[in-house]
Structure 1
Amino acid sequence: MPDRRATVLFTQCAGMFLVQLDVTVVNVALPDIGAAVGAGVPALQWVVDGYTVALAALLLTGGALADVLGPRRVVLAGLGIFGAASAGCALAPGSAALVAARVAQGAGAALLLPGTLAVITRAFPGRREQARALGVWAGVSALALAAGPLLGGLLVTATGWRSLFWINVPLTALAAAGTLRVPAGPPAAGRVDVAGTVTGATALAALVYAVIQSSVPAAVLGVAAAVAFLAAERRSPAPMLPLTLLRSRTFAAANLVAGAMNFAGLGTILLATLYLQGVHHATPPAAALAMLPGFLPLSLLAPVTGRLTARFGPRPVMIAGLLTGSAGLLGLLRVTATSTITGAFLPAFALVGVGLGLLTAAVVAAAVGGVPADRAGIASGVNNTARQACGALGIATFGAIAGSPARPAAFVHGLHAAAVLGAALWLAAAVLTAAAVGRP
């Protein structure tokens, strides 16, 4: 790999690392955050979901801006916003300020995520080398998810919860310095689809909020905004989501599978954290260590998945991941309030991790490979929007099904119901993959 392209891959993976790290790093710190800022359960839920909702709501905008303004500019802007918002989180005097700063973090992450993918796909235009590069990118993404709980547990114990956010500030500065070494490329053409940006962001934010808060007015607003978004995209001369892209069966199916992957995956990670800390009363570092067998396969398998996808195509790899993950979710049915962590929980959670490790790079490669190369930015934006929006819905849905771990027996019963739901969803996704992905 030439030095320049290695630099491109390294710096863009660093940006992705920050985005994914903040998806999971705060989970093990929630009890400490609640005690420090006087936050109840709803406020703590929004400390997690404020980031995810903003990320999901603005990802399409980030993808469109990457195509119009150029991915390097968008990545640099995202790093600046993310770093400043991280400092705001660390300095937050109360729960309202913390949630607001987390929303700003999500906005910066929405610029970073599709921008990094667009830079990588432009640097690696060949399908096979692109699949391998995306495998490395997905591996770093998975490493961040794995490092989040462990790093969070260690930092909270050693220096307090505010250090979770301070650590992002120097990392964003280093990533920005590396991104400046990436060639800017030719001047971008086109314009930003303002109507699509406003209606699309409103639809996603309102629909996710409606699920989390059980708000009927928000649901009505979300549906109305979604209809307005489709109408705006149909009329726009430069739509942020060209509806013609959805004619690709591979692209459409890959995004549906991506949504199912994160719906069950992130929902399961939330319940695993609550089970370990709420039912087994594990300390943050102990809970993080107990979750490593599920997170490590994400990191170790993602580069391998990239090579397998380059050789065999995404379809068989995606099916293998979905079936393995489904087996892990069904394995959670053996978990009880009194069962040992190593006896029932760890084997099942590890299989879920193996499934996610096989899926992540293959799903991204299928989505990006299903559209013309010059639409890589918007393709990655759509794919990550599906993942993050459905991940937020999964967190809300699985949390509502399981309830509070303060009632261990009821919580475990809800955990079983959520696991069955997730397994059914992933098995349906396997059928969809076999029927649609990789076919003309």
Structure 2
Amino acid sequence: MQNRPTAILVVMCAGMFLVLLDVTVVNVALPSIGTDVGADAAATQWIVDAYAVAIAALLLASGTLGDRVGHRRVVVAGLVVFGAASAACGLAPSTGVLIAARAAQGVGAALLLPGTLAVVTDTFPDRGARARALGIWAGVSSLALPAGPLLGGGLVSAAGWRWVFLVNLPVVAAAVVAVLRLVPTGKRRPERRADLPGTALAAAGLGAAVFAVIDVGHHGFQAAGITALIVALGCATGFVLREGRADDPMVPLGVLRRPSFAGPNVAAGTMNLVLNGFLFVTTLFLQHVLHADPLAAGIALLPMFVPLAVLAPVAGRATARWGARPPLVVGALVAAAGAAWFVRVDPGSGYAVLLPALLGLGIGAGLFTAPVVSAAVSAVPPDRSGLASGITNTARQAGTALGVAVFGAVAAATAPAPQFVQGLHVLAVVGAVAWLAVAGLVAVTVRR
């Protein structure tokens, strides 16, 4: 079939679009979900974080699994798991079932993220054609972020929050059929071994850290939060020891010891922490304080995400011409200004006061995203570029999980409007300082 590579690219883009769509699509539905299933503030945070924690914990292991058994199988498995979990989310009778189903969605997403990229790479062996295909794949992926709040708001307003998840089912079913018909089996590398102990320690450590932040934020330093913090520290220590001794580690520690690699990854994680943290609390502000309906809230959030898609190619060209450092520093400073602008927001503020903050965060992140990945990949030998990209994506998903936990705890989602906005002002300072620290970090660690 002459057009088979194009058809495969379309299917892989659809799979990747769903994964990233579900990072943001659920946010505008959270107030409706909380009212319908009785989710408290902590449970609301877990509805977002269960997905991000699962992706972050399993992303690198999923890439190795694809090498072992074939990326076609992993993509099909990811689609099936993602679709079944989406159905469970849409039909969930309680908060606990919804959170568990969101975690299962994250497992499917973790299989799809590296799998779709690997299939696209294998489908286009010619270097030029591959570059064009990957550019399309990345461009379609970036469109999922602004589409999430808009689509989510429209679905919640028109049909209810459950359709935010149920809408995935026909797309997943069509994608499974297309992958089975179009994508060849591909090569397998059975000698690749998954680092199961490292994966388990990473998953347990990140989950415990998120639990500790959420629990301490809502209940203070009680036994559960302190225990979770101890577990997180123990898992982190065990992970470092394991990776230092493993024959085929999930994360080679030698790579992390390079400042030129570690710096961009810390920066990427911080970017997602602040951006998704502000997304979470801004959604609550729009609906709880300004009393916007879900569709209006989704539209109001577009200035935060449209620049991510629009500025990605601009930042890529700037990186090719001047290196990653200038757009990284400029992006971080613009985002810092956007975060700081949240101190001007109060319960009586209209949307016009909020808009500069959203634009600052969106433009800053749009200038930052492509160069930070480029900086991380450029810091390692070419044969480790796949690993570098995987670690950077893992750092970003971990940042997302921690950002929702931290920002949700500080803003006190169920608090009266004045107290909520007071927490938002604290987060404005925290976010601005974090972005300024990132600007300094990339200025020091990223090569010219």
User: What is the TM-score with the length of structure 2 in the denominator?
Assistant: 0.89
Q: Following the alignment from structure 2 to structure 1, what is the Cα–Cα distance between the partners of residues 72 and 78? A: 10
- Please give the alpha-carbon distance, in whole angstroms, between the structure 1 residues aligned to 2:347 and 2:172: 41
The 1:119–1:204 alpha-carbon spacing in structure 2 relative to 1, beyond 3 Å, is: farther
Number of residue pairs aligned between Structure 1 and Structure 2: 437
The verdict on how the C-alpha distance between 1:42 and 1:432 changes in structure 2, with shifts beyond 3 A counting, is closer
1:408 and 2:410 correspond: no
CA contact under 8 A between 2:269 and 2:396: conserved in structure 1?
yes
What code does the residue aligned with 1:39 have?
A: A
1: CA distance, partners of 2:401 / 2:8: 30
Of the three residues 397, 400, 404, the one matched with 2:406 is 397
1:213-228 paired onto structure 2 within 5 Å: 213-214=215-216, 215-228=225-238
From 196, 214, 218, the equivalent of 2:198 is: 196
Runs of 5+ unmatched residues, structure 1: none
Which residue is equivalent to 1:268? Answer: 278
Partner of 1:186: 187
Distance 1:191 1:125, change over 3 A: same
Distance 1:341 1:129, change over 3 A: farther
Change in 2 beyond 3 A, CA 1:370/1:275: same
Give the residue type in structure 2 aligned to 1:256.
V
Alignment match, 1:163: 163
Q: Distance in 1 between matches of 2:147 and 2:132?
A: 22
Tell me: CA distance 1:35–1:336, structure 2 relative to 1, closer, same or farther (3 Å): closer
Map of 1:384 onto structure 2: 393
Residues 42 and 214, structure 2, Cα contact 8 Å, conserved in 1: no
1:302 to 306, 312, 315: 312
| Shift in Å, 1:366 | 2.4
Letter of the structure 1 residue corresponding to residue 369 of structure 2 = T
Q: 1:191 to 1:209 in 2, by over 3 A?
A: same
CA contact (8 A) 1:259 1:386 kept: yes
CA shift, 1:86, in A, is: 0.5
What displacement does 1:243 show? 1.7
Identity %: 54
SS at match of 1:241: coil
Alpha-carbon distance between aligned partners in 1 of 2:124 and 2:380, rounded to the nearest angstrom: 15
Aligned counterpart in structure 2 of residue 211 of structure 1, from 197, 210, 213: 213
Alpha-carbon distance in 2 for matches of 1:271, 1:131: 37
In the alignment, does 2:93 pair up with 1:93? yes
Question: Does the Cα contact within 8 Å between 2:150 and 2:295 map onto a contact in 1?
Answer: yes
- 2:25–2:149 CA contact under 8 A, matched in 1: yes
Alpha-carbon distance in 2 for matches of 1:278, 1:296: 24
1:384 CA drift (Å):
1.6
Matches of 2:283 and 2:359, distance apart in 1: 14
Match of 2:326 among 316, 321, 328: 316
Q: Say which of 247, 251, 255 aligns to 1:237.
A: 247
Counterpart of 1:106 in structure 2 is 106
1:142 and 2:128 are equivalent in the alignment: no
Residues 37 and 407 of structure 1: CA distance in aligned 2, closer, same or farther (over 3 Å): closer
Pick closer, same or farther for the CA change 1:211–1:248 going to 2, 3 Å.
same
Aligned to 2:443: 434
Deviation of the 1:38 alpha carbon:
3.0
Q: Secondary structure at the match of 1:255?
A: helix
- RMSD, matched Cα: 2.6
Q: Shift of the alpha carbon at 1:135?
A: 5.5
Residues 91-125 of structure 1 show CA distances to partners (whole Å, capped at 9, x for unaligned) of 21222211111110011112222333444566789
1:68–1:11 distance in 2 versus 1, CA, 3 Å: same
Query: Which residue of 345, 357, 361 maps to 1:335?
Result: 345
Alignment partner of 2:301: what SS?
helix
The DSSP-based 3-state class of the residue aligned with 1:336 is: coil
Query: Aligned letter for 1:332?
Result: F
Amino acid in structure 2 at the alignment position of 1:36: D
Cα distance in 1 for partners of 2:296, 2:304 equals: 14
SS at match of 1:423: helix
Q: What is the Cα deviation at residue 137 of structure 1?
A: 4.2
Q: CA deviation at 1:182?
A: 4.4
Where does residue 78 of structure 1 map in the other structure?
78
- The Cα of 1:12 is off from its aligned counterpart by 3.3
| Separation (CA, whole Å) in 2 of partners of 1:265 and 1:204 | 19
- 1:251 maps to 261
> Residue 278 of structure 2: SS of its match in structure 1?
helix
Q: Distance in 2 between matches of 1:152 and 1:429?
A: 31
Question: 1:275-290 counterparts in 2 under 5 A?
Answer: 275-290=285-300
Aligned residue type for 1:317 = P
The AA in structure 2 aligned to 1:369 is S
Tell me which moved more, 371-380 or 155-164: 371-380
Q: Hey, what does 1:152 align to over in structure 2?
A: 152
Residue by residue over 1:302-360, the C-alpha shift from the partner in whole angstroms, topping out at 9 and shown as x without a partner, is 23333333343322222221111111112222222212212x11122112111111222
d(CA) in 2 for partners of 1:310 and 1:137? 19
Q: Distance in 1 between matches of 2:374 and 2:129?
A: 11
Residue 413 and residue 137 in structure 1: after superposition, are their counterparts in 2 closer, same or farther (change >3 A)? farther
- Contact in 1 for aligned 2:48/2:404 (Cα 8 Å): no
Structure 1, 56-65 or 428-437: larger mean CA deviation: 56-65
**For 1:400 and 1:327, how far apart are their aligned partners in 2?**
23
2:42 touches 2:215 (CA, 8 Å); kept in 1? no
Using the TM superposition, give the Cα deviation of residue 403 of structure 1 relative to its aligned residue in structure 2, in angstroms.
Answer: 1.7
1:374 and 1:28, CA in 2 relative to 1: closer, same or farther beyond 3 A?
Answer: same
Structure 2 Cα separation of the partners of residues 373 and 71 of structure 1: 21
TM-fit CA distance, 1:146: 1.2
Q: Give the secondary-structure state (helix, strand or coil) at the position aligned to 2:264.
A: helix
Higher alpha-carbon deviation: 361-370 or 349-358: 361-370
Deviation at 1:82, TM superposition (A): 0.7
From the superposition, tell whether residues 197 and 78 of structure 1 become closer, same or farther in structure 2 (CA, over 3 Å). same
Matched letter for residue 266 of structure 2: L
Q: Describe the shift of the 1:251–1:66 C-alpha distance in structure 2 as closer, same or farther (beyond 3 A).
A: farther
Query: Cα gap change, 1:35/1:271 in structure 2, threshold over 3 Å: closer, same or farther?
Result: closer
**1:42 match:** 42
Structure 2 equivalent of residue 355 of structure 1: 364
Of the structure 1 ranges 277-286 and 329-338, higher mean CA displacement relative to structure 2 is found in 329-338
Distance 1:361 1:273, change over 3 A: same
